Amino acid sequence: MIAVAVIVHAGRVLLIRRSAPAASLPWTFPSGKMEPGETAGEAATREALEEAGVVVEPVSLLGERVHPVTGWPVAYVSCQLVSGTAHAASPREVAEVRWVRLREIPELVPGGLFVPVQAYLDESLSS
């Protein structure tokens, strides 16, 4: 299972550009494989720190699905920023990080977002 950290702060959401994109997905949320015994919230928190250098707190599970492009099982977790300045904390994995506004997401993620994640962002972000 892949855990995804959906981090909203100051009217924007954090996206990362992978050094080696999975399939046709150069821009994604901080994410990675859950380790044995980890909850989705714990894994999302760990991945946010490892990939983007930010400390977050998991808030709620937004939903789960099998990703239509990668075929991987994915759990999406809304997270609250606690501390840190977002940066490419793992240059081997992450080429760039960016806080983006809602209106910027379609150009960075042209395939669209998982419906529950999009609904959460529509509610949480002001454009």
pLDDT of residue 110: 85
pLDDT of residue 106: 92
Does the pTM of the predicted model rise above 0.75?
A: yes
Write b or e for each residue in 86-121: b if 16 or more Cβ atoms lie within 10 A of its Cβ, otherwise e. Answer: bebbbeebbeebebbebebbeeebeeebbebbeebb
103 contact partners, CB below 8 Å, separation of at least 6: 127
Calpha distance 40→29 (Å, rounded): 14
The parts of the chain modelled with pLDDT lower than 70 are: 22-23, 126-127
Strands 55-66 and 73-83: antiparallel
Q: Which CATH class, in words, describes the domain spanning 2-124?
A: alpha beta
